[in-house]
Amino acid sequence: MEMSKHNTDAELEVKKSTVLNSGWSAKARSDAFDRIAKSGLPTARDEYWKYTNPKTLTNKIVEKASLVTEHESDIFKSVRPLKIVFVDGKFSPEKSDKLMLSGLSIERLDTIKKLDLHWAKELYGRYEKLGQLSVSRPLAAYNTAYANEGLIIHVTDRVERPINIIYEHENEYSDVILHHVIKIDSNAELTLLESGAAAARLNQVLEVEVNEDAKFNHIRVLGRDHERRAATHIFGELSRCSIFKSFTLTVNGILTRNECFLNIAGDDAMAHISGACVGDGDFHHDDTVFVTHDAVGSESRQVFKKVLRNGATGVFQGKILVKPDAQKTDGYQISQSLLLDDDSQFLAKPELEIYADDVACSHGSTSGAIDEDALFYLTSRGISKPVAIDMLTMAFLAEAVDEIDNDNLKDVILELLSGWLERRR
């Protein structure tokens, strides 16, 4: 890709001078700048963006995103999390709890970025950079170069109380970049909950280092504001015997691109990534997942379910890469869509790239309509057709939601899903 083809007036500007003078993160930002300078911003012609047009994510001008009245601020209240609130990308001390919890330290990028030294220097941009080896992800590099806000969390113990980052959206034209870094020490554990629409346009990076025997639980509900656009990235590295679990629910959203790049670097580690989405009308949702197995005896699962109607589009690009010495790898990937009408579409590219022989890897992908026999069975027993369709839809989504271990959190998700279906009956 040459730079020239991206330098149209309408695109985001990339200027190196603005990323310098930023304390401990200067080097990481400068490197990230070089990465974008080399790759350019993504275009619809890139193979990696085959099914999702990145134009509104790279345009200089942010499209308007109307606000919705219902907020998702309190959806996780049943598990009494520590609340950290960002309003259009700005931290809100009034709405947030005190940033203190036993077993971890929480800092904000905004307050520490001028420091000369910080432990996060080793991590900030590191896994994002690693994620660029297989394919360039310019939006993530852009984020590393320019992010001013985000949470820097160091987990040193098993933390029982979850952290809930709540993203509120109050400005119809907000353009937000957030960059979180989480380091989980050996034997430590963290549950991170995210909810809310965040901005008219969000570019988010979450870098997670999961050390030996540590566990990271992640459940995310992307906001309900329909006209919002979001490009989110998770970059994670797993050490020996560590566990990484991430689930994302997406209801609404004119454009969502969720990328997840995990590197399994330690033996016997386990990574589960899952997602459920329900979309209506001009909904476009893209899950792009890349799991690298670079250790012996590791396991990965990718489970993605999409329910689409009235012209909604669902995209899944998934890849399992098994490196030459990653023997005894167990890789599984399933992506399924339920198309509730004839206008919706499902586009998938589920890939396997395998260089080790003693592995069991499989993937499956299906697409189809509601099973007429099952529908007939339910309606013949006196259930109205819309209710029967909802029941079958929930059954279809169950496999992805079942990836959540915590029953309370699972119930929260199921409630959100059935609420969405009911409202749109």
The answer to whether 406 contacts another protein (rule: CB under 8 A) is no
The DSSP call for residue 64 is P
Pair 352, 329: CB distance under 8 Å:
no
Question: HSE-up of 64 (CA within 13 Å, CB side)?
Answer: 3
Q: How far apart are CA 398 and CA 410, in angstroms?
A: 10
Binding mask 26-65 for another protein (x = CB under 8 A): ---------------------x------------------
The answer to whether 292 contacts another protein (rule: CB under 8 A) is no
**Of the two residues 119 and 332, which places its CB atom closer to another protein in the complex?**
332
Instruction: Please name every residue paired with 210 in a beta bridge, in sequence order, or none if there are none.
Output: 184, 238
Which one among 120, 182, 193, 339 touches another protein, defined by CB under 8 A?
339
Pair 270, 405: CB distance under 8 Å:
no
The answer to whether 376 contacts another protein (rule: CB under 8 A) is no
**Of the two residues 61 and 133, which places its CB atom closer to another protein in the complex?**
133
The answer to whether 148 contacts another protein (rule: CB under 8 A) is no
The answer to whether 301 contacts another protein (rule: CB under 8 A) is no
Q: Which of 166, 259, 146 is nearest to 220 (CA)?
A: 166
The answer to whether 345 contacts another protein (rule: CB under 8 A) is yes
Which one among 8, 111, 362, 384 touches another protein, defined by CB under 8 A?
362
Q: Alpha-carbon torsion 190, 304, 57, 125, what sign?
A: positive
Which one among 9, 116, 357, 373 touches another protein, defined by CB under 8 A?
357
The answer to whether 1 contacts another protein (rule: CB under 8 A) is no
In which element (H, E) is residue 145 found? helix 138-146
# chain residues binding another protein, by CB under 8 A = 36
Which one among 3, 77, 122, 368 touches another protein, defined by CB under 8 A?
368
Residues 6+ apart with CB under 8 A from 90: 149
**Of the two residues 106 and 296, which places its CB atom closer to another protein in the complex?**
296
Which one among 366, 384, 406, 408 touches another protein, defined by CB under 8 A?
366
Q: How far apart are CA 46 and CA 55, in angstroms?
A: 12
Which residues from 162-201 bind another protein, rule CB under 8 A?
Answer: none
Which residues from 101-140 bind another protein, rule CB under 8 A?
Answer: none
Binding mask 319-338 for another protein (x = CB under 8 A): -----xx-x---------x-
The answer to whether 386 contacts another protein (rule: CB under 8 A) is no
Residues 6+ apart with CB under 8 A from 4: none
The answer to whether 364 contacts another protein (rule: CB under 8 A) is yes
CB 311 → another protein: shortest distance, Å? 11
Pair 185, 212: CB distance under 8 Å:
no
Q: How far apart are CA 211 and CA 183, in angstroms?
A: 8
The answer to whether 352 contacts another protein (rule: CB under 8 A) is yes
Q: Which of 187, 251, 259 is nearest to 216 (CA)?
A: 187
Pair 236, 264: CB distance under 8 Å:
no
**What residue ranges bind another protein (CB under 8 A)?**
47, 324-325, 327, 337, 339-369
